[in-house]
Chains A and B, each alone.
Chain A
Amino acid sequence: DGGITQSPKYLFRKEGQNVTLSCEQNLNHDAMYWYRQDPGQGLRLIYYSQIVNDFQKGDIAEGYSVSREKKESFPLTVTSAQKNPTAFYLCASSSMASGRANNEQFFGPGTRLTVL
């Protein structure tokens, strides 16, 4: 089955620790995205990548880092600099037909991060 997987489903972190959220897709999509979701605020874009070894900051990139060494993988690291990291994190991917990110995004099941 083609799709996007995220792991772990639940993650607990102590203050001051970095944690890495995994996102893998086997849809052969060029573009991948990370969103943060808080109650009542919808989805906010953290980082996105349209090609391997390249990525762009989204609206709330501070305190986060990403890498895109493989087309299939786009891990997100939540660093200790992120002051309020408790949230639901969603990864998504899309094709880049016609060179534009105008195609539907496919979402993973999400990771719920809680800071203790």
Chain B
Amino acid sequence: AQSVTQPDIHITVSEGASLELRCNYSYGATPYLFWYVQSPGQGLQLLLKYFSGDTLVQGIKGFEAEFKRSQSSFNLRKPSVHWSDAAEYFCAVVGASKIIFGSGTRLSIRP
């Protein structure tokens, strides 16, 4: 069955520190993968997507993600976080007829 796992429910990092949010997926074929961000009380905004090609994907707001087929992972990274990055982050994989979302990781920023 297709699934997405985000093992970290809540992460706190200091402003200016690097960030890595983990995402593992289960999918039989080549997956289509997304990372979305959600500010409190708002809808979701696409950060980046992977369909094929280069396994290191650049997104908006200085985020990047690396697709690793051997590890079934699509981790999100940012070299230096800003207070405005505090939000909830969702990883998602395209299934047969719908997108399957992970349960999300809440990111808090320590001043």
Query: Which of B14-22, B40-48, B76-84 sits within the interface?
Result: B40-48
Q: How far is the CA of A106 from the CA of B34 in the complex (A)?
A: 12
Tell me if B11 is interfacial: C-beta within 8 Å of chain A: no
Chain A neighbourhood of B101, CB < 8 A: 42-43
Task: Tell me the total A-B contact number using a CB cutoff of 8 A.
Answer: 50
Residues of B36-71 at the interface with A, using a CB-CB cut-off of 8 Å, are 36, 41-46, 49, 51
Among candidates B49, B51, B98, B103, residue contacting A45 with C-beta atoms closer than 8 Å: B98
A101 within 8 A of B: yes
When the two chains form their complex, are residues A101 and B94 in contact, meaning their CB atoms are under 8 A apart?
A: yes
A33 interfacial by beta-carbon distance below 8 Å: yes
Whether the pair B102, A102 counts as a contact (CB closer than 8 A) is no
Cross-chain contact B42 with A104 (CB below 8 angstroms): no
A interface size (C-beta, 8 A):
25
- Contact status A108-B46, CB under 8 Å: no
How many positions in chain B have a CB within 8 Å of any CB in the partner chain? Answer: 21
Taking a contact as CB atoms closer than 8 A, the residue among A40, A90, A104, A110 that contacts B49 in the complex is A104
Task: Tell me whether A74 is interfacial, beta carbon within 8 Å.
Answer: no
The CA-CA distance from A40 to B6 in the complex, in Å, is 11
Give the distance to chain B from A38, nearest Cβ to Cβ, in Å. 10
B90 touching A101 by the CB < 8 A rule? no
Q: Does A109 interact with chain B (Cβ within 8 Å)?
A: yes
Is residue A48 within 8 Å, beta carbon to beta carbon, of the partner chain? yes
B98 touches A33 (CB 8 A): yes
Residues from chain A with a CB closer than 8 A to the CB of B34 are: 104
Can you offer 11 A-B residue contacts whose CB atoms are under 8 A? A4-B43, A33-B98, A40-B104, A42-B102, A88-B41, A101-B94, A101-B98, A101-B99, A104-B49, A105-B99, A112-B41
Q: A42-B104, A48-B97 are in contact. List 14 more A-B contacts (CB 8 A).
A: A4-B43, A40-B103, A41-B103, A42-B101, A58-B98, A100-B94, A102-B51, A104-B46, A107-B36, A107-B45, A108-B43, A109-B42, A110-B42, A112-B41
